[in-house]
Amino acid sequence: MPREPGQPIAAPPAGARSLHRFANPGRFLRMTGRLMPWLWALALGVTAWGTAWALGFAPADWQQGETVRIMYVHVPMAWLAMGGYFGLGILSIMSLIWRHPLADLAARELSPVGAAVTALCLATGSLWGKPMWGTWWVWDARLTSVLVLFFLWLGHAALVRAFDEADRGARAGAILALVGLVNLPIVKFSVDWWNTLHQPASVTRLDAPGMHVDMLYPLLVCALGFSLLFGAVVLARTRSAVMERRIRALETARARRADMNAQAG
């Protein structure tokens, strides 16, 4: 079709079409943009409050002594590792069934944070295990299943980045995440189903928590603080990923237009 030089092409270029797909993420950016400062402030505030309470003021344990303070980091990290993975499962379902582009991006940005949290859980547990159990590591059902959870996080993070086409990477990652979901009940109930060296749950059990309130309350504040921090980090990463995509789409569109003009001229 003959076209005047310099006149913009009628059909939207590929970059603009993928930009159109992020119309909804645009609203996401605007909404979270207003939320982020508050979320950061709240997360840092609650985390500071919780850690100060837990490390400075909470009592020592009658037989673990000061070592019990590792629990204030270990337990929230374990909850986040599992809760975060549940979130990854939901994002993967949204991605596979509704092909929600924002879910793809959020899942991609969530998994490195989840891997970091799980690594912290394993490391703090190991540090606690040496003085208390007498060993850094055993292959019991709880420890092994959490190690598998860590590999699932890492595998997801690696898999979604291993494809040249982002869409195919997201789909492969979503399938991996959903298959890995069977590991979650295994992690949670491993201590009830089998004999393990790891102790059963203290807080989330049907009867009263096996923990004195002087330790329980700082633990819950720590868990809330770390969860808010986790959410803030993941949201910030997702926001920057959305912005990165937008910038790339705009630049591709501009480059294509310049190319077209150059050819036409």
Partner 1 sequence: MTRKRRRLWILLLCAIGVGSATALTLTAFQDNIVFFRSPSDIVAERPAPERSFRLGGLVEAGSVEREQAAAGDRPTIRFRVTDGANTIPVTYQGVLPDLFREGQGVVTAGRFGLDGMFRATEVLARHDETYMPPEVADALKRAGHWQPEQGTPPPAATWNTLQPAAGQPTRTGGSGT
Which 136-155 residues touch partner 1, going by CB under 8 A?
138-141
Q: Rounded to an integer, what distance in angstroms lies between the CA atom of residue 43 and that of residue 48?
A: 8
Minimum distance, C-beta of residue 242 to partner 1, in the bound complex (Å): 24
* Contact code string over 64-93 relative to partner 1, x by CB under 8 A: x---x--x---------------------x
Minimum distance, C-beta of residue 172 to partner 1, in the bound complex (Å): 14
Kindly state whether residue 264 participates in binding partner 1, applying the rule CB under 8 A: no
Instruction: Please say which residue, 163 or 189, places its beta carbon nearer to partner 1.
Output: 189
What are the distances in angstroms from CA 135 to CA 68, 119, 125, 139? 16, 18, 11, 11
Token pair, residue 215, equals 């330790």
Pairs from 89-96 (Cβ < 8 Å, separation ≥ 24): 89/177, 89/178, 89/181, 89/184, 91/174, 91/177, 92/173, 92/174, 92/175, 92/177, 92/178, 93/174, 93/178, 95/170, 95/171, 95/174, 96/171, 96/174, 96/175, 96/178
Minimum distance, C-beta of residue 55 to partner 1, in the bound complex (Å): 11
User: Alpha-carbon torsion 165, 150, 29, 251, what sign?
Assistant: negative
Task: Specify whether the CB–CB gap between 216 and 203 falls below 8 A.
Answer: yes
Is residue 143 classed as helix, strand or coil in its secondary structure?
A: helix
Kindly state whether residue 20 participates in binding partner 1, applying the rule CB under 8 A: no
Instruction: Please say which residue, 69 or 239, places its beta carbon nearer to partner 1.
Output: 69
Minimum distance, C-beta of residue 143 to partner 1, in the bound complex (Å): 9
Q: How many residues bind partner 1 (CB under 8 A)?
A: 51
Kindly state whether residue 252 participates in binding partner 1, applying the rule CB under 8 A: no
* Contact code string over 178-217 relative to partner 1, x by CB under 8 A: xx-xx---x------xxxxx-xxxx--x-xxxxxxxxxxx
Q: Which residues bind partner 1 (CB under 8 A)?
A: 53, 57-64, 68, 71, 93, 96-98, 131-135, 138-141, 178-179, 181-182, 186, 193-197, 199-202, 205, 207-218
